[in-house]
Structure 1
Amino acid sequence: MIADVRLEQAAPADLPAIVECVRRFRLDDEDLAAEQFVVARERGRLVAFGRIKPYGRVYELGSVGVLEAERGRGLGGLIVRELARRFPTREVYLTTDLPAYFARFGFCRIDDPPPEIAAKIAGVCAHLRSGVVAMLLEKPD
Structure 2
Amino acid sequence: MKFEIKDCSEDQLEIVKKHISQFELDDRSLHHSQFLVALQNNTIIGFGRIREHNNCSELCSLGVIEPERNKGVGIALTKALARKAKKSVYLVCIIPEFFKKLGFRLCDTYPEELLNKLHYCTHELIVPETYVVMKKG
TM-score (norm 2): 0.93
* Contact 1:95/1:121 (8 A) holds in 2: yes
Q: Which residue of 2 aligns with 1:32?
A: 30
* Contact 1:55/1:117 (8 A) holds in 2: no
Q: How does 1:94-113 map to 2 (within 5 A)?
A: 94-113=91-110
Inter-partner Cα distance in structure 2 for 1:55 and 1:126:
21
Q: How does 1:119-138 map to 2 (within 5 A)?
A: 119-130=116-127, 131-138=130-137
Q: Which residue of 2 aligns with 1:55?
A: 53
Q: Which residue of 1 aligns with 2:3?
A: 5
In structure 1, the gaps of 5 or more residues are: none
Partner AA of 1:64 in structure 2: L
RMSD: 1.3
Q: Deviations over 1:91-124 (max 9, x none)?
A: 1101101111111101000111111101111124
Residues 30 and 125 (structure 1 numbering): CA distance in 2 closer, same or farther, change over 3 Å?
farther
Inter-partner Cα distance in structure 2 for 1:124 and 1:55:
17
Identity %: 31
1:118 paired to 2:109: no
State the secondary structure of the residue aligned to 1:111: coil
Inter-partner Cα distance in structure 2 for 1:58 and 1:72:
29
User: What is the number of residues matched between the two proteins?
Assistant: 135
* Contact 1:48/1:67 (8 A) holds in 2: yes
TM-score (norm 1): 0.90
Q: How does 1:13-92 map to 2 (within 5 A)?
A: 13-89=11-87, 91-92=88-89
In structure 2, the gaps of 5 or more residues are: none
